[in-house]
Amino acid sequence: MTPAELASVVLAAAHAVFEQRGLDGAALPASTVVERPRNPEHGDYASTLALQLSKKVGVPPRELATALADELSRAPGVKSVEIAGPGFLNIRLDAAAAGQLARVIVETGAEYGRSDRLAGEKINLEFVSANPTGPVHIGGVRWAAVGDALSRLLRATGADVGTEYYFNDAGSQIDRFARSLLAAAKGEPAPEDGYGGAYIAEIATEVQARRPEVRSLDDDAAQEVFRVEGVALMFDEIRTSLRDFGVEFDTYFNEKDLHDRGELDLALNRLRQQGHLYESEGATWLRTTDFGDDKDRVLRKSNGEWTYFAADCAYYLDKRERGFERVVIMLGADHHGYIGRMKAMSACFGDDPERNLEILIGQLVNLLRDGAPMRMSKRAGTVITLEDLVDAIGVDASRYALARYSSDSPIDIDIELWTRATRDNPVYYVQYVAARTAGVARNAAEVGLVPGDADAFRPELLDHEKENELLKALAQFPAVVATAAELREPHRVARYLEESVAASYHRFYDNCRVLPLGDEEITDLHRARLWLNNATRTVIANGLYLLGVSAPERM
């Protein structure tokens, strides 16, 4: 019996109690929630329905809980119901009802854990968005892992998600990038405000190979060639790096397009219509202080140049005009000050900042070697890059390590730990269970042990303490996925896989033999345990998929 099925049973019992007592059925919720009690000794599931309904119907909570318990205890699959505290219901299932979950999981396959919890939500999820002036650095890599995992979680819970990468290919940073490429091509040091690192020389060389005529141009014309070609090469490199990391975006959006299509003027006019613009000292300002910002923001300078914030406004409006009801933007720790101005900007457009705009901030990442932080990339010169991390620990370990922690906490990634083939390496610990469950299934097939037809499955045989513990862990998966999506916290999936599923499976494996020994006859118990083994494989694979990590069949 799944948690959803039990919730329906609890609600049916409530309907019966209300009908017997002549209570107002309108007080009953459309659905109810059952959850795992913190202490396993309190039962398989707990419900607070009696406490929720008590005031609505004027019946003391324990009296209502007693009536619910009496009705619920007669339901098929329910072994017992106990009343605790002021009116909690602690529910125990019989072995057959609990064990049926293994069949449900195996038959549901890749869909197990998915729901329609966020159905109807149209979300634009922007992450990474590193400037095309250098390789993706380790802070951006964190958002690549977390953002991609979050997009998978949101889709798994029914949301309509569009992932987006915003290329800042306009403005002064691109000018400095172009000047740096020109200097490298001429054999000169980088400008004082320019970019260094071996990649600058590499790109300059590639531009000259593509456009040999650049050598004969004057500096202004040559700089424009290096700008256009250099940005294109950097775009290609960033996209390739992310693709190799398992991250593909639905949309790559260029800031320059906003300028070329006149969308900054469109945003300015929309804000003017809303009554939030004013002119001062020749500049155009947005009165963001009306909505809690610490100061008003310039959109257009007195010399006619647009500010970066003007492009932010135009880009936000573009997303909303494309039909996205919620705009989620993932930014680095150094962008914390953007929250107030962006929320105020959303309000200036007439939106609800709490509903239409969501900004997530990610903290710093350190890569440790021999206990000391690595400070510099051999290629980028100033930062650790995506390639540095992948070269050090691999794609799977990188993605798991970055998604395993709450994004608002700084993390240290120890190269020695994350490359170790031992249980203290979290990704190895989880992937080992994926491989072990696959190995058990292969070995079972070799000795003629197959799960058999679902109708012949004997779930009531799964009555060992460790079998029950594992079933409870597997039953939590849909709720974990839904919570991780709603709270924007993919790390909940990683911790669940480690602490609940992997840990419970190891104890099950050590105490409940799946394969027959020697010439031992294959029994229904062996087959039932194989169903449970395969259900575990399904949950591990589904959970790792949500993190963008592979579930190997062999290690």
- pLDDT tens digits along 387-422: 889 999 999 999 999 999 999 899 999 999 999 999
* Share of residues in the chain with pLDDT > 90 (%): 64
State both tokens at 188: 């000169």
pLDDT band at 13 (very low <50, low <70, confident <90, very high): confident
Q: How far is CA 46 from the centre of its chain?
A: 28
- Residue 497 DSSP class: I
Residue 124 has pLDDT above 70, yes or no: yes
Residue 301 has pLDDT above 70, yes or no: yes
Mean pLDDT of 362-375: 84
Instruction: Name the pTM for this structure.
Output: 0.87
Residue 445 has pLDDT above 80, yes or no: yes
Mean pLDDT of 41-66: 84
* Least confident among 20-29, 187-196, 455-464, 472-481: 20-29
pLDDT band at 378 (very low <50, low <70, confident <90, very high): low
Task: Please calculate the CA angle 148-154-160 and round it to the nearest 5 degrees.
Answer: 105
* Least confident among 36-40, 346-350, 470-474: 36-40
More reliable by pLDDT, 27 or 8: 8
Distant-in-sequence, close-in-space partners of 278: CB < 8 Å, separation ≥ 6: 284, 285, 287
More reliable by pLDDT, 96 or 250: 250
Distant-in-sequence, close-in-space partners of 286: CB < 8 Å, separation ≥ 6: 271, 276, 277, 296, 297, 298, 299, 309, 313, 345, 348
Mean pLDDT of 105-111: 96
Asked whether the CA dihedral 100, 101, 105, 108 is positive or negative, the reply is positive
pLDDT at 199: 87
For 238-287, write each residue's pLDDT tens digit. 999 999 999 999 999 999 899 999 999 999 999 999 999 999 999 999 99
Number of Cα atoms under 13 Å in the Cβ half of residue 458: 10
Measure Cα distances from 79 to 1, 8, 40, 90, 113 in Å.
Answer: 12, 16, 15, 11, 25
**Taking a C-beta distance cutoff of 8 angstroms, is the pair 328, 276 a contact?**
no
Identify the residue whose tokens are 């008590």. Answer: 54
Residue 192 has pLDDT above 90, yes or no: no
Burial (Cβ within 10 Å: 0-12, 13-18, ≥19) of residue 378: exposed
Report which of 28, 33, 42 is spatially closest to residue 3, judged by C-alpha positions.
Answer: 33
Residue 32: Cβ within 10 Å count: 20
More reliable by pLDDT, 35 or 490: 490
Query: E strands along 301-402, which residues?
Result: 326-332, 357-362, 365-369, 372-373
**Taking a C-beta distance cutoff of 8 angstroms, is the pair 147, 155 a contact?**
no
Residue 377 has pLDDT above 70, yes or no: no
**Taking a C-beta distance cutoff of 8 angstroms, is the pair 234, 132 a contact?**
yes
Q: Domains along the chain?
A: 3-93 (3.30.1360.70), 122-167+248-362 (3.40.50.620), 172-244 (no CATH), 422-547 (1.10.730.10)
Give the separation between CA 310 and CA 520, rounded to whole angstroms.
Answer: 75
Residue 28 has pLDDT above 90, yes or no: no
Residue 39 has pLDDT above 90, yes or no: no
pLDDT at 477: 95
For 504-536, write each residue's pLDDT tens digit. 999 999 999 999 998 899 999 999 999 999 999
Mean pLDDT of 3-28: 80
Identify the residue whose tokens are 């790096």. Answer: 241
Residue 160 has pLDDT above 80, yes or no: yes
Give the separation between CA 97 and CA 101, rounded to whole angstroms.
Answer: 8
pLDDT at 506: 97
Give the separation between CA 332 and CA 362, rounded to whole angstroms.
Answer: 5
pLDDT at 524: 94
More reliable by pLDDT, 113 or 2: 113
For 415-435, write each residue's pLDDT tens digit. 999 999 999 999 999 999 999
Give the separation between CA 345 and CA 289, rounded to whole angstroms.
Answer: 10
pLDDT at 277: 96
Phi, psi (rounded to 5 degrees) for 173: -65, -35
Phi, psi (rounded to 5 degrees) for 449: -90, 115
Residue 310 has pLDDT above 90, yes or no: yes
State both tokens at 406: 């709450």
More reliable by pLDDT, 215 or 121: 121
pLDDT band at 115 (very low <50, low <70, confident <90, very high): very high
**Taking a C-beta distance cutoff of 8 angstroms, is the pair 337, 294 a contact?**
no
DSSP 148-177: HHHHHHHHHTT-EEEEEEEE--SSHHHHHH
Q: Do the strands 122-126 and 326-332 form a parallel or antiparallel pair, or are they unpaired?
A: parallel
Cross-strand partners of 329: 126, 359
Q: How far is CA 194 from the centre of its chain?
A: 35
pLDDT band at 132 (very low <50, low <70, confident <90, very high): confident
Measure Cα distances from 317 to 167, 346, 349 in Å.
Answer: 17, 9, 8
